[in-house]
């Protein structure tokens, strides 16, 4: 019997993050201030942005020299050529390019806008800094989980979330790009419905649904809260990394 109740709490007063900061320790402090104690069946969702900052993934645009391909593409998409250069360096290939739109296959396989590189909430409005995705978000999630266990004795699960746009639908939604201690996808193949018929839906994007739920509380603007505790999730096993959410290109009809 899986859970019938779930609670989400955005951690308050989570500080601004700089390179090298201990995100797990900050989270434990913020939980404590909120009167909360981490449990083994909790999930902590960290916004990609704070993980990237802690990992020192900021790049000053002034240090980037755009190559020929970036210059050309920047013209098409009407973006800063230095930013486009960074996007290309983080990508395997360009999937779609149009004015204001640059969708790529990120080096880790995610199909996403701008290789996840962001300039908002990075530094002051006059700064020309870009923030890359974490080097390897599944590993980042695993490290955060280990550090949380060190600090609290609790092996909770960790998700690193980002906001992705989607074909066909308007609006971004939270998705998981890193995952530790829970299955990013849940495989229901072989299970039956209420009447004994095999289920139509066979694989569920579990970590993405959790990331979307957390995203509701995170917000996007100045009140942003980058860490959300999720409590009461249905039992989870086995661990499956966020890369399980990558649809193999051979099975994908929309590349």
Q: Which of 211, 236, 215, 240 is nearest to 225 (CA)?
A: 215
Task: Identify the residue whose tokens are 């300039």.
Answer: 119
> Strand (E) positions, 51-137?
58-60, 91-98, 101-106, 111-113, 129-131
Structure token pair of residue 185 = 């996808």
- Per CB under 8 A, the segment of 52-60, 79-87, 152-160, 183-191 that binds a second copy is 183-191
Say what angle helices 23-33 and 137-152 make with each other, to 10 degrees.
50
Binds a second copy by CB under 8 A, chosen from 9, 149, 151, 154 = 9
If one asks whether residue 175 binds a second copy (CB under 8 A), the answer comes out as yes
| 69 versus 255: smaller Cβ distance to a second copy | 255
Residue 146 or 209 with smaller CB distance to a second copy: 209
Interface residue with a second copy among 35, 167, 238, 250 (CB under 8 A) is 167
231's CB contacts (< 8 A; 6+ apart) are: 6, 7, 8, 9, 39, 41, 42, 43
182 binds a second copy (CB under 8 A): no
Is residue 94 at the binding interface for a second copy, with CB under 8 A as the rule?
no
Q: How far is the CB of 118 from a second copy (least distance, A)?
A: 6
Site for a second copy in 204-223 (CB under 8 A): 204-206, 208-210, 212-213, 215-217, 219-223
Q: Which of 63, 168, 189, 235 binds a second copy (CB under 8 A)?
A: 168
Q: Are 80 and 251 in contact (CB under 8 A)?
A: no
Residue 105 and residue 112: Cα distance in Å, rounded? 6
Q: Which stretch binds a second copy (CB under 8 A): 5-13, 51-59, 75-83, 146-154?
A: 5-13
Stretch (H or E) spanning 25 = helix 23-33
CB of 146 to a second copy, least distance (A): 25
Give dist(CA 217, CA 231) in Å, integer: 14
Do residues 203 and 185 make contact, with C-beta atoms less than 8 angstroms apart? yes
Nearest to 54 by CA among 45, 46, 62: 46
Using CB under 8 A, pick the residue from 76, 149, 188, 239 that binds a second copy: 188
- What is the H or E stretch that residue 219 is in? none
Structure tokens, 191: 């299970």
- Pattern 26-65, binding to a second copy, x per CB under 8 A? ----------------------------------------
Task: Output 101 or 149, the one with its CB closest to a second copy.
Answer: 101
Residue 161 interacting with a second copy (CB under 8 A):
no
**245 in contact with a second copy (CB under 8 A):** yes
């Amino acid at each position: 019997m899986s859970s019938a109740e779930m609670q989400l709490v955005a951690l308050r007063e989570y500080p601004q993050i700089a390179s090298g900061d201990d995100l797990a320790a900050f989270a434990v402090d913020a939980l404590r201030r909120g009167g909360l104690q981490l449990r083994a069946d909790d999930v902590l969702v960290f916004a990609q942005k704070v993980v990237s900052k802690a990992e020192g993934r900021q790049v000053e645009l002034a240090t980037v020299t755009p190559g020929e391909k970036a210059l050309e593409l920047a013209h098409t998409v009407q973006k800063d050529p230095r930013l486009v250069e960074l996007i290309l360096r983080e990508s395997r290939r360009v999937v779609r390019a149009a004015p204001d739109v640059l969708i790529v296959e990120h080096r880790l396989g995610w199909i996403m806008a701008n290789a996840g590189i962001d300039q908002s909430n990075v530094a002051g409005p006059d700064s020309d800094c870009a923030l890359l995705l974490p080097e390897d978000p599944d590993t980042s999630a695993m490290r955060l989980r280990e550090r949380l266990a060190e600090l609290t004795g609790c092996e909770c699960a960790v998700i690193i979330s980002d906001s992705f746009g989607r074909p066909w639908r308007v609006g971004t939604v939270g998705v998981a790009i890193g995952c530790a201690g829970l299955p990013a996808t849940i495989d229901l193949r072989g299970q039956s419905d209420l009447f004994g018929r095999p289920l139509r839906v066979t694989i569920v994007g579990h970590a993405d649904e959790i990331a979307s739920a957390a995203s509701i509380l995170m917000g996007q603007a100045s009140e942003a809260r980058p860490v959300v505790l999720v409590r009461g999730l249905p039992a989870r096993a086995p661990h499956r990394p966020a890369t399980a959410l990558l649809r193999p290109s051979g099975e994908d009809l929309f590349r």
